[in-house]
Amino acid sequence: MANIEINLIENRKPVPATDELGFGVHFSDHMLVMDYNLDQGWHGARIEPYGPIQIDPSMMALHYGQAIFEGMKAFRASDGNINLFRARDHFNRFNNSARRVCIPELDVEELLTGLKKLLEIDQQWVPSEHGTALYIRPFIFATDQFLGVRPSHTYKLMIILSPVGAYYAEGFNPVKIMVEDEYVRAVRGGIGAIKTPGNYAASLLAAVKAQKKGFTQVLWLDALELKWLEEVGTMNIMVKIGDEVITPPLNGSILPGITRDSTIKILQNWNIPLIEKQISINEVMQAGSDGTLKEMFGTGTAAIISPVGSIHYKEDNVIINSGNVGELSQKLFEEITAIQYGSKDDTYNWIDTIDVV
């Protein structure tokens, strides 16, 4: 991506006010685009004005879902510079997703160079109020005009940017979750471990069902036995029972979250016992009723840490920590965000800084 073509927009849009940001509704002035074909491989990296694209009705991604995406964030540091959080890890995972659905991989360093250039150009779209961020959405989709089922021969990559408001604008708020015991999200050997659209389509009906019953999120169990914890909504799950933090191992149906990994590394650094092991919903409900279930939280780029206030499973309900935010959830949230906004040293080497001129 050494010779990236740049075509700037004529009239920049106004950046929305902080309280109007929301999540994923506003988009910056520019986007990064690249194409793939069999002759040239990935080529034609360019930064263009953000806007609609033309697609053919027979475009393969629309019919068979050969597509992948990523979600990461950039933060405005107090010195005005931009902190990009774990972008290499996100792009490595992007390639991992690509492999699973037969999409040709990309050079991670080139992607990073392109993204940094895009961030430089759209730097005023990184909001500065604490809690806000610029959400970065890279994605690739199959573009062959063909209705047969096979890997496409052509693809398009795009990176778009969306300024997002504080997830916890009204304070850190524990969610009510419902354990889903009918539908499943993913099965080992399937596509649950990668960020591909089909997984999210598969999750919608259960989410709607939970919301109708007054719950915020679904807790997913494994597909084979409907017994073991997998994920919560689109986040990884952690439970604190007694003094131990337990999270399910990456067994092939769980998405390897970067926030999960950041949390594990921080807990290890704090000498807090963290075990990756299978944990059943019955163990969790039991710990809930005998008082040893201290905390439960989801981890993901959007919310960072999302505390769980109650769990509903079949006919049973347990309240966690009287429905309040746990001490560890709070500490982890503060630690991770302090590194992201640069108020704490980046001892883990997670930040790429973009100097703003």
Ligand X SMILES: *Cc1c(COP(=O)(O)O)cnc(C)c1O
Q: Given the structure tokens 């199959």, which residue do they identify?
A: 142
Least distance to ligand X, CB of residue 234, Å: 4
Q: How far apart are CA 77 and CA 344, in angstroms?
A: 11
Cβ distance to ligand X smaller for residue 300 or 342: 300
Q: Which stretch binds ligand X (CB under 6 A): 30-38, 59-67, 296-304, 320-328?
A: 296-304
Per CB under 6 A, which of residues 249..278 are in contact with ligand X?
255, 257-260
Q: Judged by CB under 6 A, which of 230, 231, 295, 335 binds ligand X? A: 231
| Cβ-Cβ contacts under 8 Å for 124 (sequence gap 6 or more) | 15
Please tell me the distance from the alpha carbon of residue 338 to that of residue 186, in angstroms, as a whole number. 33
Parallel/antiparallel/unpaired status of strands 82-85 and 41-49: unpaired
Q: Give the other-Cβ count within 10 Å of 286's Cβ.
A: 14
Contact window for ligand X (CB under 6 A) among 17-25, 147-155, 229-237, 334-342: 229-237
Shortest distance in whole angstroms from residue 257 CB to ligand X: 3
Taking alpha carbons only, the member of 69, 101, 70 closest to residue 86 is 70
Is 195 a binding residue for ligand X by CB under 6 A? The answer is: yes
Which range in 34-42, 155-163, 206-214, 233-241 contacts ligand X by CB under 6 A? 233-241
**CB 245 within 8 Å of CB 327:** no
Contact between 234 and ligand X by CB under 6 A: the answer reads yes
User: Could you say whether residue 301 binds ligand X (CB under 6 A)?
Assistant: yes
Binding residues for ligand X, total number by CB under 6 A: 14
Angle formed at CA 39 by CA 37 and CA 40, multiple of 5 degrees: 70
Do the beta carbons of residue 283 and residue 277 sit within 8 Å? no
177: its two tokens: 């979750």
84 lies in the binding site for ligand X (CB under 6 A): no
Please, which residues bridge with residue 308 across strands? 175
Least Å from the CB of residue 58 to ligand X: 28
Closest separation in Å from C-beta 185 to ligand X: 7
Give the interface segment with ligand X, choosing from 40-48, 75-83, 297-305, 315-323 (CB under 6 A). 297-305
**Would you say 123 or 234 has its CB closer to ligand X?**
234
From CA 44, how far away is CA 294, in angstroms rounded?
Answer: 52
The site for ligand X (CB under 6 A) is made up of 71, 195, 231, 234-236, 255, 257-260, 299-301
